[in-house]
Chains A and B, each alone.
Chain A
């Protein structure tokens, strides 16, 4: 079983749609959780951290369920500029290294 699993997509949605990405992780000792965004042929960049209480940043909402070892990202009112790969990331252990999922490709259509 992969340490971090995501649906690879692609998710093709029209502008203005709401889209949700899900992610599960296998290590119950994981301590920190993130969503990174990676544009085509670019480097990953931090989109947002994920907290147990849930957190929101504009059109983006992230949720964490530690009991189910499940992380989600909701994007409301999708824009063309949201088209990218969204990487689910967990970290933990003595070195706090980041473990990346394979990423979910989002294509927002005009």
Chain B
């Protein structure tokens, strides 16, 4: 079974530029997540989609970050304009549709996109 695919793997941009990341989840997985992992920290959830609807975007800096999952499959995450503190690894993950409360399916992570803002 193919895993979560992400591209690009690495990106270097200057501050105030724009950047976009792409994610293709595991086939059949309804839930898709974007995380930001800053060096030395654990991943932090930015946004969660279930099919093409947003479930949680409470920690997404909406003044500069946007994400979409138009057809309930692939997703893109955009940063515009980028700041130095956006330097991080951006991880995409997917899981099957969530069961009832009190349980979670395993999340499968992609290899991530390492962003450096100079």
User: For the complex, is A91 an interface residue (Cβ under 8 Å from B)?
Assistant: yes
Contact B102 A31, beta carbon cutoff 8 Å: yes
Judge if B106 is at the interface, Cβ distance under 8 Å. yes
Listed stretches B12-20, B40-48, B68-76, B78-86; interface member: B40-48
A14 within 8 A of B: no
Whether a CB of chain A sits under 8 angstroms from the CB of B98 is yes
| Cβ B45 vs Cβ A87 within 8 A | no
- Chain A residues whose CB sits within 8 angstroms of the CB of B109 once the complex forms: 43-45
A59 within 8 A of B: no
Closest to B59 in A: A97
Which of B40, B91, B103 makes the CB contact (< 8 A) with A32? B103
Interface residues on chain A, number (Cβ under 8 Å): 23
Task: Count residues of B near A (Cβ-Cβ below 8 Å).
Answer: 22
Instruction: State whether A32 and B104 are in contact (beta carbons under 8 Å apart), knowing that A43-B91, A97-B48 are contacts in the complex.
Output: yes
Q: Contact flags (1/0) for A72-110 with B, using CB distance below 8 Å?
A: 000000000000000101010011111111110000000
Contact B111 A98 (CB under 8 A): no
CB of A96 within 8 A of CB of B98, answer yes
A31-B102, A96-B98 given; name 13 further pairs at CB < 8 Å.
A32-B104, A43-B112, A44-B91, A45-B109, A46-B107, A87-B43, A95-B55, A96-B101, A97-B45, A97-B48, A100-B44, A102-B41, A103-B41
* A interface list, Cβ under 8 A from B: 4, 8, 31-32, 34, 42-46, 87, 89, 91, 94-103
Residues of chain B at the chain A interface (Cβ within 8 Å): 33, 40-45, 48, 55-56, 91, 98, 101-104, 106-107, 109-112
